[in-house]
Every structure is written in C-alpha cells, then in structure tokens.
Amino acid sequence: MAPDYEQFKKDILQLTGIDLNAYKERQMRRRISTLCTKYGFSDYHAFYQDLKVNPEHREQFMNYLTINVSEFYRNPMQWQILESKVLPELLQGRKSLKIWSAACSTGDEPYTLIMILKELFPQVQVKLRATDLDDKVLALAKEGCYPAKSLLNLPKNYVTKYFKKLPDGKYQLSREIMEAVEFQQHNLLADAYDSQYDLIVCRNVLIYFTEEAKLEVFKRFHRSLRPDGYLFIGSTEQILQARTIHFEPQYSFFYKKISI
Ligand SMILES: C[S@@+](CC[C@H](N)C(=O)[O-])C[C@H]1O[C@@H](n2cnc3c(N)ncnc32)[C@H](O)[C@@H]1O
C-alpha cells in the first residue's frame, strides 16, 4: 500500500476527530489496510475519498478501529478484588460514590458495577458516568440487550435477578440497572475530564494507545481522582513506574492516587 499514511492520519483526524497518532501504529495500520483492501482500494488516499462520501463505510471503519469487545464481569478475579478490598476501603466513612467507567463499550462494565453495588452495598448512593468514543456502542448500551455469551462470567444470581430471557435467546437487562448509569460520548484523547471521582474504571483500551498517549491519560486520570481514589485497569495493562506519576500499585490492576 502506498506510503501516504501520514496524510491519511491527518484526514481521519479532521473527518472523525480520532487522532491515529495516539494509537499503536503497527496494529492500526494492519487493521486499516485489511479494511482498505476489503473495500477494494489500493491506497489510503482512495480509501479516504470513499470514507468521506460513504457513511456506511465510515461507520464500519469507526467500529473496526475501536475494537468494541466487552462482557459482563470480565476477568472475575479482578472484580472480586474490587468487591472485597477496594469498595469497602473507598466507602470507609462515606455513603456515596462518584464513578467513571471510561471506554465502556456496550455497557457491560458499568452495568456490572451497578449490580455489584446494589447487591453488596445497597445503602450507597452511586453516581456512575459511562463514556465511550463510539456512539454506536453507546446506543447498544442504552438498549441493554445482550447475547448469552456476554453473560458467561456473571454470577448466576445476577443473571436471574436482573435479566429477562427474550424469545430470540438474548437477555434484556432490567430498567432498575439501566437507569442507574448515565452514558455520554467522550474521547479520552481529546475531551475534558471531570474531577473528584472515587473510582475510575478504564480497561482494555489503553493497550491500543502509544506509550506517550497512555502516560498522558494516566496523568489526567490522576487529576480526576479524589485523594485516595482508585484507578482500575485491564488484565494485560500496567502503569510503568506508577509512583513517578503518583499512583501506588495497591492490588493487581488497582492503583491508588497518592496526593501531591
Ligand atoms: C475493547 S473495548 C473495552 C470495553 C470494556 N472497557 C471492557 O474492558 O470490557 C475498547 C473500547 O474503547 C473505546 N475507545 C477507543 N478509543 C477511544 C478513545 N480515544 N476514547 C474513548 N474510548 C475509546 C472503543 O470504542 C471500545 O468501545
């Protein structure tokens, strides 16, 4: 494929607001080239011209780029640490929690959080904001209808209590859980971050970012947390030299904000 990728990145930033420079280049180029070839284009320029005028291709491009895989209670052992260690600690002397589920995809993660809190800490008042770059996944999250495979790791009592099986085999989440989450579109690499969060959950997206972009996001998460607040990251992720950016690795995949 012709070496016009630099221009393609600029064009895509203008067209979609996505800065491909912040994503790991080899991985992104491979994904983009696959799609470009699939549509029958031999260079990035022709592909971009198509994306400009073809909303269907543009949508597929966005979906393909953002890798939306998610599931309820993904990596159960990490959720168990949240339940038994992190939440009790965050709730010491408090009756409310402000939480941000960043890059939440189809909502599996924020809804998991709400179910856990309802079951284990029913007296706590929760404000949960869930965001993603991709408005298509947010629309699915608001529908709250999931294939059975999304629920495989979720404790069975949660499935029975909070889902209704539909005739087509999918599972509809209850209103009670859906109404507890506020969904918003948000680009971690471009938009403003809110503050005073007790807990930020951001899993399985930073792996796609360059080291520089990742570091910048971690620093911004630090500013967004309240003192002693927690950042919960994905199972293949870690913060290198966490203490230099004032995070204390507390449990696997949980970092506590050290106040400066
Ligand atoms: C693999 S999913 C992770 C979903 C969920 N956090 C989990 O671990 O199951 C990655 C999500 O990151 C989102 N994403 C990619 N780039 C983003 C960005 N710059 N800002 C916000 N979300 C982004 C994608 O749209 C996608 O929904």
Could you tell which of 154, 201, 205 is best to mutate to test the pocket of ligand 1, judged by most ligand atoms within 8 Å of the CB?
205
Q: Which residues pair with 255 in a beta bridge?
A: 231, 249
* Look-up of token digits 């620093």: 219
- Pocket lined around ligand 1, Cβ cut-off 6 Å: 66-70, 74, 103-105, 108-109, 132-134, 137, 187-189, 203-205, 234
pLDDT in tens, 30-61: 989 888 888 999 899 999 999 999 988 888 88
- Atom of ligand 1 at shortest range from CA of 105: 27
The dihedral sign for the CA sequence 116, 235, 96, 84: positive
Which residue's alpha carbon is nearest to atom 9 within ligand 1? 70
Which atom belonging to ligand 1 lies closest to the Cα atom of 18?
Answer: 19
Can you tell me the distance from the alpha carbon of 126 to that of 213, in angstroms, rounded to the nearest whole number? 30
Nearest to 106 by CA among 136, 132, 131, 137: 137
Residue 114 confidence (pLDDT) above 90 = yes
What average pLDDT score do residues 19-37 get?
A: 90
- For domain 76-257, give its CATH number from 3.40.50.150, 3.40.640.10, 3.10.20.90, 3.30.1490.120: 3.40.50.150
99, two tokens: 């939480």
Per-residue pLDDT, averaged over 229-244, amounts to 92
> How many A from CA of 188 to the centre of ligand 1?
9
Is the pLDDT reported for residue 81 higher than 90? yes
Half-sphere exposure of 55 (CA within 13 A, CB side): 0
CA 250, CA 234: separation in Å to the nearest integer?
A: 14
pLDDT, mean of residues 83-102:
97
Q: How far is the CA of 135 from the centre of ligand 1 (A)?
A: 11
Distance 58 CA to ligand 1 centre (A): 18
Residue extent(s) of CATH 3.40.50.150 domains in the chain: 76-257
The reported pLDDT for the residue numbered 190 is 94
pLDDT tens digit sequence for 167-223: 999 999 999 999 999 999 999 999 999 999 999 999 999 989 999 999 999 999 999
Closest by Cα among 68, 64, 70, 69 to 29: 64
Place of tokens 């690499």: 189
In the prediction, which pLDDT does 3 show? 62
Site to substitute for ligand 1 among 105, 109, 111, most atoms within 8 A of C-beta: 105
pTM, full prediction: 0.91
